[in-house]
Amino acid sequence: MVIIMLGAPASGKGSVAEILSKEFNIPAISSGDIFRKYISEGTEIGQRANSYMTKGQLVPDDLTVELITSRLKEDDVQNGLILDGFPRTVNQAKVLDEMLTKEGKKIDIVVNLETPEEEILERITNRMICTNSDCKAVYNTVLHPSKVEGICDKCGSPLYQRDDDKLEKAKNRLEVYHRETAPVADYYKETGALYSTVLSKSVNRMKDEVARDVINYLKNK
């Protein structure tokens, strides 16, 4: 099974992907986590990716595809996977289709999360992340704060705010998303794989309900 998660930054892709991962027993792979892993290791490819990410820009297609291609060859994804944050451009979507076709696989569903922009900015700018790379728990100082300010509930490590979660860079990320990534939904709509749904506190539809609907859709399909 191959599931693609689409949506603006902080729309809830990772949270829904985590639930789907447990339900279908397949790994959820975040392109951002892959980039940050290479960056933290100080690799040449990580430094190249970081030069774009620190500016709130998309990592170029050729560099992104190079990283994702390597990841898709690993043993744990051979029975299925959930991609969160890739593809981010129509060109990447076409390359992914070619990659999967060569492996005899296809995309089962593209989950497109729609969330109001003001709510997205609130989530991004109030997001705090555990510094422990083995934990990476995510909190929100307004919606989901840790019990002790600045400390992870799960492992006790300090929390931090990513540089690209600050307001100006968050706004820039949204502009880039609307310009570069939003058209990917139109691409998948034409293929018949798109499943658009709202994830927003304003209509009381959050991650658990959205994930349940996706699970039921896939099982019925």
- 105, 162, 189, 207: the catalytic one is 162
* Nearest-angstrom CA–CA distance, 121 and 142: 12
Q: Checking DSSP bridges between strand 28-30 and strand 127-130, what pairing results, if any?
A: unpaired
Give the pLDDT score at 55.
79
- 71, 169, 173, 205: the catalytic one is 173
Cβ atoms of residues 164 and 170 within 8 Å: yes
- 36, 88, 169, 205: the catalytic one is 88
Structure tokens given for 42 = 């100080």
Q: Can you give the pLDDT of all 221 residues of the chain as single tens digits?
A: 999 999 998 899 989 999 999 999 999 998 877 887 788 888 888 888 888 888 777 788 888 888 888 788 888 888 999 999 899 889 999 999 998 998 888 999 999 999 999 999 999 999 999 999 889 899 999 888 999 999 999 999 999 998 889 999 899 989 988 998 899 999 999 999 999 999 998 888 999 999 999 999 999 98
- 13, 123, 169, 205: the catalytic one is 13
* Nearest-angstrom CA–CA distance, 137 and 139: 7
Q: Checking DSSP bridges between strand 81-84 and strand 194-198, what pairing results, if any?
A: unpaired
Does residue 73 have an active-site annotation?
no
Give the pLDDT score at 60.
86
Does residue 127 have an active-site annotation?
yes
Q: DSSP 3-state assignment of 65?
A: helix
Does residue 162 have an active-site annotation?
yes
Give the pLDDT score at 67.
81
2 forms bridges with which residues in the sheet?
81
Does residue 71 have an active-site annotation?
no
How many helices (H) and strands (E) the chain has is answered by 9, 8
Cβ atoms of residues 157 and 132 within 8 Å: yes
Instruction: Give, in order, the Cα–Cα distances in Å from 191 to each of 94, 135, 181.
Output: 11, 36, 16
* Nearest-angstrom CA–CA distance, 200 and 1: 27
* Nearest-angstrom CA–CA distance, 5 and 83: 6
Helix (H) or strand (E) holding 53: helix 44-53
Cβ atoms of residues 123 and 143 within 8 Å: yes
Q: Where are the extended beta strands (E) located within the chain?
A: 2-7, 28-30, 81-84, 109-114, 127-130, 138-140, 159-160, 194-198
Cβ atoms of residues 131 and 158 within 8 Å: yes
- 36, 71, 123, 127: the catalytic one is 127
* Nearest-angstrom CA–CA distance, 66 and 72: 10
